[in-house]
Structure 1
């Protein structure tokens, strides 16, 4: 797709028809206090010049954006949640508020979290805690800096409500968040159509995704090409999680975007060490979505897309694409880890030998992931005996960029749970937002040093 000279509002989702969504109204919040606006992301869609009042009207009161959707839409989908199929879900505390074509010509969705009840809220209140919003800011900023394809947090507005929650001290403060992402079409969107045996709308959805999100034409072989693209993108997503030391926590099929972009951060964490059994969600008792099992989990979700597409496609080409996931993942995780090591890939079997040796050493030493990658950037590995094989394998690799950014003269930027809790405590106890904004600045400095 050729780039557009200027971003522009869009309403492309309407071409799918009303079988895919329900018009809803945003909650009428008692207050709207702007707490975070991401002007860097906003510039991509041309809304960075909004003044604060207009920002709150659009992203706290959800006044429609001229040229985009006239009313919010709660999207319909199903999904496997911890491997149990659930046909009763959908956008339960969020909606699609607007669409844009960004400066690169890509279709971008503005989706919400905590914007009120919808037909899919079930027993929920449709709200988001302020702590949950703060955590999503931190997750998206850190992942973007570490090269993970991720949604961005565009806006966080405190809403003046007191929420009751079972898993944190209550009542607690409420907020509404707006995220910017390249679509909110999930694997679960396809699963819902397969569940209802709706072949006509399945074909319509395949063409929508191919044309508007993947820059490909529709056509009879569309389902196979769609799956192939999703397998490639989700393999890269899984690889980027591993290189970042990130654990999403809830890799259900309704949380996997067909563009391969990570989103919807609930009980996420960064693992302090290379521990494959490390989990993020306190309720993940079996470790289904543990750090080391994330590639397996995402591959399984891609399988559910293949199963759904069988409604309108032959099995053979779908199986062929699905079977490429392991190979694509291995190539992607090699590239992602070499990127974080700060060296130029050679493009041969030696690359994989380096990664195998580094992974083995990290696991055996149980050291800090963040300290290791900070010190090793450019190809200088620790002098410990455990890294001897990795040092030998890395001989001859060139640094991909110099260590001349100010970031390298400080300490490694990490985002472990204790710091996340401390940032929240400053807000909760003293209404002190300085630590949050300082952390965002530090994360962006790291991103500039790595990119």
Structure 2
């Protein structure tokens, strides 16, 4: 295990030309206090979690003291925000400290989020508030627990420096990790400013670092194959979001990862009652990023990326063909995930209709998405009735669907115990509902970080039965059904 002093940095992004970033030192703000450290993320860096007991741990992960080997930079990018192109964005409140290489040869970029102003902060202050930092800290680890590609959270540091939003709030700094934080918007920036040579160099850098299987191909073929892989990863990611009932809330192109990771947790939300048109972002008046619009927006964002890459990929037919593969790839992944959630071991005619009719039942009666699927895990083929039946106002409608479902299971020789165990590994019992996050935030603001720790442990193993976890699987109370989150969250 490594100490803070011997993390192995290899900062390849910082060795790109200055056009890609600005060198910016963190700006200390208030007195830092370590609020939480995540041992699972420490393991990614081979970092001994016991290092968190050091007096300088909070100093180093809040920007008050440097980490040996770090080279802080803020990267520049652009992006389409709610469909409107913004010519320059960039890391406005995040600093890339560098790239830590672990003993397995894996490369993890380390970012401080909330460490102060950068040239790309625009009218912001470069700070993050405790509430939004806790939300990202918890949700990135919750998504990892669900098996969904995501950035990771290393630690959470609070400071007593004020941050001015609608009210004066407490500041915090999140240290997050990812193999790369490069976004679609990085390529848009160089394309729209007429610098295709910079887009080409960045593409080749990303391919060499993160798509090594393509490295031996000729240049034109390599870049086209890379874009096709980005399409596939994005299709798979959004299918996974839809399967667990996750709404991102701000699917701007500058929030889309080139590696197919879930990136930037602002106004996100998991479904409680199943409403396909669920809008989790209070700022999204038109519902552009509603839950049921995410697959369409994924295609739109990939089309924007293709447009940015067109100057450096001469085979435009290959770009179009790759983009045309998005919809069938997404639909295939989605159908496979939903079939698995129903415990179907084989693919048969009528499966898609069976799945869609189940979703229609959930939507018609506003049933809880996560709990509804989890309850199906307990269905026994020879049972006269299922407990979920009592939660459906139209019991005849449920009975009709359940008869079709059990007949389908019998047709493939499904065995209750085997199927139920398989379904419990596919349908989580716990997701980060907004009211759970809000409860943890309020307690943390009062000085009690115990709830953050307890909730994190449950979310890191969301398919397991936790002896004291019943409250975390409950549907939200009335006050928890109307929590508004926005782009400032």
Q: TM-score, normalised by structure 1?
A: 0.89
Pick closer, same or farther for the CA change 1:390–1:102 going to 2, 3 Å: farther
| Equivalent residues of 1:187, 1:305 under 8 A apart | yes
Aligned with residue 201 of structure 2, among 192, 200, 204:
204
Task: Note if 1:176 corresponds to 2:173.
Answer: yes
- 1:121-152: CA deviations, max 9, x gaps? 11111000001111112211222222221111
CA distance in 2, matches of 1:348, 1:209: 40
SS at match of 1:257: coil
Pick closer, same or farther for the CA change 1:338–1:399 going to 2, 3 Å: farther
Q: TM-score, normalised by structure 2?
A: 0.82
SS at match of 2:13: helix
**1:173 Cα offset (Å):** 0.6
| Equivalent residues of 2:7, 2:47 under 8 A apart | no
SS at match of 1:80: strand
- 1:312-351: CA deviations, max 9, x gaps? 123100000000111110111123334444x364256565
- 2:433 aligned residue: 416
Structure 2 unaligned blocks of 5 or more: 1-5, 381-385, 390-397, 467-489
| Equivalent residues of 2:137, 2:174 under 8 A apart | no
SS at match of 1:220: helix
CA distance in 1, matches of 2:134, 2:74: 23
CA distance in 2, matches of 1:184, 1:135: 19
Pick closer, same or farther for the CA change 1:291–1:386 going to 2, 3 Å: farther
Pick closer, same or farther for the CA change 1:22–1:295 going to 2, 3 Å: same
| Equivalent residues of 1:231, 1:325 under 8 A apart | yes
| Equivalent residues of 1:7, 1:105 under 8 A apart | no
- 1:253 aligned residue: 253
| Equivalent residues of 2:268, 2:281 under 8 A apart | yes
**1:62 Cα offset (Å):** 6.1
What aligned pairs does 1:59-70 form with structure 2 within 5 A after superposition?
Answer: 59-61=61-63, 63-66=65-68, 68-69=69-70
Task: Note if 1:434 corresponds to 2:450.
Answer: yes
| Equivalent residues of 1:353, 1:393 under 8 A apart | no
**Range with greater deviation from structure 2 (438-447 or 129-138):** 438-447
- 1:316 aligned residue: 317
What aligned pairs does 1:227-242 form with structure 2 within 5 A after superposition?
Answer: 227-242=227-242
SS at match of 2:203: helix
Task: Note if 1:387 corresponds to 2:401.
Answer: yes
Task: Note if 1:444 corresponds to 2:460.
Answer: yes
| Equivalent residues of 1:137, 1:153 under 8 A apart | yes
Task: Note if 1:194 corresponds to 2:194.
Answer: no
SS at match of 2:461: helix
Task: Note if 1:107 corresponds to 2:123.
Answer: no
- 2:477 aligned residue: none
| Equivalent residues of 1:378, 1:401 under 8 A apart | no
